[in-house]
Structure 1
Amino acid sequence: MNPSIKQLQAFVAVAQARSLAEAGERVHLSQPALSIAIRKLESTVGGPLFARTSRQLSLTPEGETFLPVASRLLNDWAEAFEDLGELFSKQRGKVTIAALPTLAAGLLPGLVATLRDRYPRINLALHDALGEEVDQMVREGRADMGLTVPPAATDLLSFEPLLEDHYVAVCPVGHPLLEQATVAWAQLADWPFIGISRLSSSRRDIDRTVGQVGQTLDIVCEVSQIATVGRIVASGAGIGVLPALSFRQISSRGLGHRPLVEPTVARRLGVILRRRDPLSAAASAMLELVREAGELERSAG
């Protein structure tokens, strides 16, 4: 049988006080109960830990050796529950989020400040990534949650919608398309096009929609970053298509944009979670902040 925490507490108290009466007051045990706890501990470890004389209790050599070990075990026990309490009370913790670049730049900056104000000891790790990588990080447990478009059908991930974005035609200042209030998707085929990576969820939407209207894009350059699309378009090399929310992460200098219509394509954005794994207290707190931010975004829209 393994020693109990009560027996360790009795041993350390008696070893420090060298008196059953004083030790009993420290651990709130009667002297008989204290003596029983010590005897059970000695029986478990296989020998005496105290040398008993008529005047006082003194530690045996084995007891002297065991005292710092027992004290450390009790401290570790207390710290473990203190740490656990801090995690549940959200005084401390870590949250990892994987997010599409548009959401990382458009939704999360304000959340970081709010998280810091409400839970200053919760640390946030943010990874901006393309949609498939966001799904993979959450699925593999490398991220607590993901901010992205709806994932492909899977039993492992759930999707909670937060807001809707839409696509805009992005043109250099002075471009003829900017003379219109809106731009039809079919009109994109008439101009050199700067494309975002084929691995991105936005590119898949763009290719599918252009195909639906029976057109083909004249792609003169393909890049991996949304900000790079903006810079190249601003130089006059072509036009592009970006999510409206992405304008929070790129400079709009030299750029203009118009809503894309015929058809109007909604881009659903939300949070993905692993279905079978509960969130930590810190991650649950972050999820509530994400929901609040989504609500504010919808209200502003």
Structure 2
Amino acid sequence: MTVKQLRAFLAVAQTLSFTRACERLHLSQPALSLTIKGLEDSLGGPLLIRSTRRVSLTSEGEALVPLAKRLLADWDNTEERLRQHFTLELGRVAIGAMPSFACNLLPDALMAFRARFPRINVTVHDVINEDVIEMVRRERVELGIAFAPEATDGLAFTPLFSDRFVAVVPPSSPLANEASLSWTALLDQDLIALQRPSMVRRLLEQELASQDIVLSVSFESHQLSTVGRMVASGLGVSAVPSLCTPQMHALGARCLPLDGPVITHEVGLISHQDRKLSVAAQALAEVLVTTVSAPVPDSP
């Protein structure tokens, strides 16, 4: 039983005329007759009684009329909803984003996306960098926004911008008055760092080790907000991506450029290599690529 057959049957059942049904469907009478016969053959019996003067329904034909109406209505609704998804008039997309990006850069990008596609619902999972990558791998979200993954097997990475590490110091520290800091000056203080297996922590250790600089940690925390609060209270100093600068300032700490060496890392979009993005996810990715740029740290 096909949609074409049901439409043909319903046109005849409603008009009780092959001639008028042909006009409605823009079909020739032989083509309509073959379509009805195909439906009757597939169901196993006659649905219409034809004579030279009139057309009437068999009891089975009468029983099929309300079912055909409902099936065709469901089909038309499904067809329309899918069309709206493909034309971005309707849809849903889920993304994962590390909190520093979700808080600082994502809202403006979502405003731009909403202005263009007001009926696309976006679900944001703000989770730590490692969880963003895992959610993409497990296909729990279509898109992730995170640092470039160390292992890209099965993943596609599209860079958005290059971020650099900045120093985080207490506002009462003499270091807060400097225009910039070297790593040597920063590491003379008690260092507060994210706990392993944080990618930020591993990146710092690897980059500094390549410069023969030892990362000696006095305090550790799993949350960046805790790190910022500990620095603001005067417990020590830290180093975070500049993406986190607004968050650190809100917690009461000060951020300064770090050099000697300048350590940078790529932030970008992560997707599953073997899964084609939905139309909505592809549209969101394009908006992110065109609207997101490297953050400019606030003045301390």
| Structure-2-length-normalised TM-score | 0.89
Corresponding position of 1:219? 218
- Aligned residue number for residue 10 of structure 1: 8
Aligned partner of 2:73 in structure 1 is 75
Match of 2:157 among 152, 156, 159: 159
Alpha-carbon shift at residue 31 of structure 1 (Å)? 3.2
- Change in CA separation of 1:299 and 1:227 when aligned onto 2, cut-off 3 Å: closer
| Corresponding letter in the other structure for 1:197 | Q
Residue of structure 2 in register with 1:204 after alignment? 202
Residue number in structure 2 paired with 1:277: 275
Ranges in structure 1 where 5+ consecutive residues have no aligned partner: none
Q: Which residue of 2 aligns with 1:170?
A: 168
Q: Deviations over 1:55-93 (max 9, x none)?
A: 532222211222222222222332232222212211112
Question: Paired residue for 2:125, among 103, 127, 141?
Answer: 127
CA, structure 1 residues 26+250, in 2 after alignment: closer, same or farther (shift >3 Å)?
farther
What SS does structure 1 have at the residue aligned with 2:61?
helix
Contact 1:191/1:218 (CA < 8 Å) preserved in 2? no
Mapped contact 2:225–2:251 kept (Cα < 8 A): no
Distance 1:263 1:149 in 2: 19
Task: Indicate how the Cα distance of structure 1 residues 74 and 206 shifts in structure 2: closer, same or farther if over 3 A, else same.
Answer: same
Of 97, 100, 103, which residue of structure 2 is paired with 1:102? 100
Q: Distance in 2 between matches of 1:175 and 1:227?
A: 19
Deviation for aligned residue 1:300: 6.7
Give the conservation status (yes or no) of the 8 Å contact 2:6–2:72: yes
Q: Contact 2:88–2:280 (CA<8 Å) still a contact in 1?
A: yes
Q: Number of aligned pairs?
A: 296
- After TM superposition, give the deviation of residue 153 of structure 1 in Å: 3.1
Q: Is the 8 A contact 1:105 1:246 kept in 2?
A: no
Candidates 37, 40, 53, aligned match of 1:39: 37
CA RMSD of aligned residues (A): 2.2
Does residue 49 of structure 2 align to residue 51 of structure 1? yes
1:175-254 residue pairs with structure 2 within 5 A? 175-211=173-209, 212-220=211-219, 222-252=220-250, 254=252
Q: Distance in 1 between matches of 2:37 and 2:120?
A: 45
Aligned residue identity for 1:233: V
Whether the aligned pair in 2 keeps the contact of 1:227 and 1:249 (CA below 8 Å) is yes
- Equivalent in the alignment of 1:142: 140
Q: Given the superposition, is the C-alpha separation of residues 282 and 10 from structure 1 closer, same or farther in structure 2, using an over 3 Å criterion?
A: same
AA partner of residue 25 (structure 1): E
Is the contact between residue 134 and residue 148 of structure 1 (CA under 8 Å) also seen in structure 2? Answer: yes
Question: Does the Cα contact within 8 Å between 1:107 and 1:293 map onto a contact in 2?
Answer: no
Q: Could you tell me how far apart the structure 2 residues matched to 1:218 and 1:80 are?
A: 58
Identity of aligned residues (%): 41
